[in-house]
Structure 1
Amino acid sequence: MGGYGRFGKAVFNRLKKEEISITVMEAMPEKTGEPKQGVVRGRGTEEDTLTEADIEHAVGIVAGTDNDANNLSIVMTARAMTNKLFVIARQNYRENDALFRAVDADMVMHPSAIVAGKIRVLLATPMLYEFMSLAAYQEEDWACALVSRIAGLVDNRVPVIQEIVVDQDRHCAIHDALERGRVVQLGDIMRSPGDRDRSLRCIALLRISRNSRELLPEADTELLPGDRLLFCGTRRAFSTMEWTLCHTATLEYILTGEDRPRSWIWRKFQERKKR
């Protein structure tokens, strides 16, 4: 790995958690510090430094300095010595896009783009960031099982992330039902309004209720006014779910199984038939 500044340290620490053997190349270790196992002194742009770092037996290289010219040079020199590397390059300036495309790295890390992407996530779906933060503490088996469930729902399409807030302004039907004391479970709003015995193609990822947070809440979880829910699934599932959340008659069918007449005329007609 070339460069042991803030970016390099972050990558180094993450790779060490995965128990990956790493050799660090740093031109000025007296300024940046160095990992416990030591460092190969040099920028990584020279064959001698890469040879000392045993590049020929490496499976990948991270060119992570704060200098785009050096990062490009590290990649080109390393590839000239071995063509079996997985290449990660740090790009510091947007005007060098063409050069980094030409070098054809397996992954290009642009710090400003990463920050901008994180800000977009926070603004658009703040619950997603919270979910990812909580999910990071789960076991690998938990993550693999969730990925398999999502893949089974959306096939080869990109899953849609949807936040739902149980409030009067956006989802009045369910909010009013809860305010009247009706019991509505999470699984109820995940039923199809066309056939309540069929589930929509979505998964509840997170529930935030009165300052409590619950990952992958169960279907029998009773909802409360003000609950915030994060779902993952198909776009059609969420457009269908809106009928249950916003229309009283649809919600009533979901809860009771009774498809009650909605207009005044049809209600009178049904009442006459019962006589």
Structure 2
Amino acid sequence: MGLAFLALLVTLILGTAGIMLTEHFSFAQAFYLTVQTITTVGYGDIEVHTEAGHTFLVFLMMGGVGVMLYFAGLMMAFLVEGQLAGVYGRRKMNKKIEQLKEHIIVCGAGRVGRQVLNRLRKEGATFVVIEQQEDLITELIEEGFLVIHSDATQDETLKKAGIDKAKGLITALPEDSLNVFVTLTAKGLNPGIQVVARMDKLESEKKLLRAGADKVISPAVLGGWRMAMSILKPISVEYLETVIHDHNIEMEMVELRVDDGSCLVGKTLSTSGIKQQTGAMILAILRNNQVISNPGAEEEIWQGDLLIVLGLREQLHRLEQVAANITKFSIADKTNSSGLKEEVLG
């Protein structure tokens, strides 16, 4: 399209200049006669008097009309096929991507990546996807996803996706080597970003961790574990899936970060009032990269602890109110690499 417009512009410039030189017309007359010629309108209100002018116009008719017809054909195709609307939509989408902050970048929208996108959308997360395959891009745009059509391994692509403002990146490309490269690139551009990487081969885990991935997940391993447990402990698996994935119930599992100044610091689980006043259940405590599973009532809460809490939505909301009544308290939504909601108790 750009080349056709350039050819038309050059034709108009050459035609106007040639008529001005051969017929000594003014710029307005020469331009008017050039447009008449290439559009085949030919009002006949301007006459050519010299042989040089006639000769020049013959060549202008032969070449200029062809350029004009080619340009007009492309314009019709552009409008009929809806490309004009597509360009406008792409610009609008790019502006939305530029305004993203604290979002998640998803690299790859294949089988695994598509499941990631669906889950992020259900959780209400803000994210953008990078994909190269044209057919997948068309489907994603039609479904309302923010999409960048480019190579995720390139620095400029990640910069366009707002890597410097993003809080997390999920690389779900089909090859482990590509995921390693994306992880290295992402950590180089934003060392503090949380990276979750997909792996197919078990030997790739160490490479991805060395590249800077915070979490490495194998769909094959998770799928195999789930299938085995569905046979061995079907009721337990079904219950966990219902709690975590079923949005028709109000049960949620969240992570609560105990911040400096929280009313919970220094208290045990029994004296904190979490269970007694809210009904929410503390499943585990993550402390200094160690997990305390099924903590006892006398387990003390430390600053920086990550409490994994299970409860109904109203119970979790009550936990917020209880803490707010005891001392100055704030809860800020956050998403970590595990995909659970993380909230900060301060």
User: TM-score, normalising length from structure 1?
Assistant: 0.51
Quick check: 2:128–2:147 contact (8 Å CA) kept in 1? yes
| Aligned with residue 105 of structure 1, among 205, 213, 217 | 213
| Aligned with residue 8 of structure 1, among 113, 119, 133 | 113
- Structure 2 counterpart of 1:192: none
* Pair 1:157 & 2:293 matched: yes
**Equivalenced residues, count:** 157
In structure 2, C-alpha distance between the alignment counterparts of 1:146 and 1:104, rounded to whole Å:
39
In structure 2, C-alpha distance between the alignment counterparts of 1:143 and 1:43, rounded to whole Å:
34
Q: Which ranges of structure 2 fall in alignment gaps of 5 or more residues?
A: 1-105, 256-277, 286-290, 296-346
1:54, distance to aligned residue in structure 2 (A): 1.1
Q: Deviations over 1:93-137 (max 9, x none)?
A: 223233123224222110110111102211321111121233334
Quick check: 2:155–2:185 contact (8 Å CA) kept in 1? yes
- Structure 1 counterpart of 2:37: none
Letter in 2 for 1:40: I
1:150, distance to aligned residue in structure 2 (A): 5.0
- Structure 2 counterpart of 1:84: 192
In structure 2, C-alpha distance between the alignment counterparts of 1:130 and 1:141, rounded to whole Å:
15
Quick check: 2:187–2:212 contact (8 Å CA) kept in 1? no
- Structure 2 counterpart of 1:26: 131
Letter in 2 for 1:49: T
Task: Compute the RMSD of aligned alpha carbons.
Answer: 2.8
- Structure 2 counterpart of 1:138: 249
Please give the secondary structure, in 2, of the residue aligned with 1:4: coil
Larger RCO: 1 or 2 (CA < 8 Å, sep 6+): 1
Quick check: 1:43–1:70 contact (8 Å CA) kept in 2? no
In structure 1, C-alpha distance between the alignment counterparts of 2:252 and 2:196, rounded to whole Å:
27
Q: Deviations over 1:114-167 (max 9, x none)?
A: 111102211321111121233334214688977616569xx93359xxxxxxxx
1:75, distance to aligned residue in structure 2 (A): 0.9
Please give the secondary structure, in 1, of the residue aligned with 2:164: helix
User: TM-score, normalising length from structure 2?
Assistant: 0.41
Q: Deviations over 1:175-210 (max 9, x none)?
A: xxxxxxxxxxxxxxxxxxxxxxxxxxxxxxxxxxxx
Quick check: 1:3–1:43 contact (8 Å CA) kept in 2? no
In structure 2, C-alpha distance between the alignment counterparts of 1:15 and 1:61, rounded to whole Å:
12
Instruction: Give the % identical residues.
Output: 24
1:24, distance to aligned residue in structure 2 (A): 0.6
In structure 2, C-alpha distance between the alignment counterparts of 1:142 and 1:90, rounded to whole Å:
24
- Structure 2 counterpart of 1:63: 171
In structure 1, C-alpha distance between the alignment counterparts of 2:134 and 2:201, rounded to whole Å:
24
Moved segments of 4+, more than 3 Å: 140-147, 149-152, 155-159
- Structure 2 counterpart of 1:39: 147
Please give the secondary structure, in 2, of the residue aligned with 1:55: coil
